[in-house]
Amino acid sequence: MSKKYILALVILIAVGLSIGVWALSRSPTSSPTQSDNSTQHTDSDWTFPLESEPVTPLPDFPPVVAEVMPSVVSVTTEIVVSDFFGRQSTEYVAGSGILIDDNGHIVTNNHVVEDAQSIYVELADGRIFPANTVGTDSLSDLAVIKIDAANLTYIYWGDSSLLSVGRWVLAIGNALGEGITATEGIVSRLNVSVNVEGNTLYGLIQTTAPVNPGNSGGPLVNMAGEVIGITSIKIVASAVEGIGYAISSNEAKPIIENLIRYGHVTYPWLGVSVSTVTPLLAASENLSVDRGALIAEIVADSPAEAAGLRVGDVIIRFGGKEISNVADLVQAIRISEIGEDVEIVFVRGEDTKTTSARLVERSTS
């Protein structure tokens, strides 16, 4: 080994020893700040918290499906359509229905049976019956039809007010016209309003349970096998997934009762056009409240006009119910009685006022 190489090696070792000594001199004890940062937030005894209770398993779907399936029917309607040249042809529309008593009353959607020339119902056991229309209501998208049969298996009606977001539900119906199927999901939102071709449906349940053409009119059920909604619509778009809607059982129940008893539904009428008050609308219109239903139009000779309401008033209570938006007002009016004097609290400018209106029957013309 050359002397130059040995000399270079000695120098490197010396430098290394110098660096090592310098590093040792920079021990943690010489820097209180660094020591604090590395130890003051640590906990040598930390472990993951123990589970307070066992994880809840998924619900047992098969028993619910087995209980509900015999009460769900396939509905097929024949409608006559005309092409551009006036030539007529027959089309078949598939939907679903729910047996609600043992005498053949079936609930479905209005859009399933609307304009139908004939209606056929297939039961879970394969029997097929012609059906007659008992009553329809386009505003709620509900209809009742009836078959001539007895001793039928029917489904129990549930209370949709007991629902909460995240609850498991099953949608059962004649999906794609291929027979009765079941899909599972959860409740995504409650009390939703959706505009469908100019008509707004209120009190809807939004669900992730897959809803396909043919499911319309079928039940949305809870894990007790009770109807808590009637499948109605879904949003169809390339960027949208898992958004379906059902008419809540509590919204549907009084309408179904009226359809069976009278063949039609009558609605109380106030005679106003309103908009939901939001903070943005309140700022732009210089309103003194940021919630309620802003009156945009009042029909002449209506109960609203007789009650002294004006355009620009904001209704904040109706019949003892708080009004935060248009849906609240519509629902409060619908549960009122025709001929009833209803107390209305409203805001005009900075003042809160009270009046009453006698509701009349809504005209169907």
Question: Would residue 36 show up in a list of annotated catalytic residues for this protein?
Answer: no
How far from 325 is each of 182, 272, 278, 316, CA to CA, in Å? 35, 14, 8, 9
Question: Would residue 111 show up in a list of annotated catalytic residues for this protein?
Answer: yes
Alpha carbon 127 to its chain's center: 33
Question: Which of 34-41's residues contact partners 24+ apart within 8 Å by CB, and which partners?
Answer: none
Question: Would residue 216 show up in a list of annotated catalytic residues for this protein?
Answer: yes
CA dihedral 260, 261, 265, 266 (to 10 degrees): -170
Q: Using CB atoms within 10 A of its CB, is residue 215 exposed (0-12), middle (13-18) or buried (19+)?
A: buried
Q: What is the DSSP letter of 42?
A: -
Alpha carbon 91 to its chain's center: 31
Catalytic annotation, pick one of 74, 105, 137, 141: 141
H helix or E strand, kind and range, residue 136: strand 128-137
Catalytic annotation, pick one of 71, 96, 216, 248: 216
CA–CA separation, 226 and 104 (whole Å): 18
How far from 100 is each of 222, 228, 268, CA to CA, in Å? 16, 13, 26
List of E strands, 11-87: 72-82
Catalytic annotation, pick one of 74, 96, 105, 111: 111
Known catalytic residues? Answer: 111, 141, 216
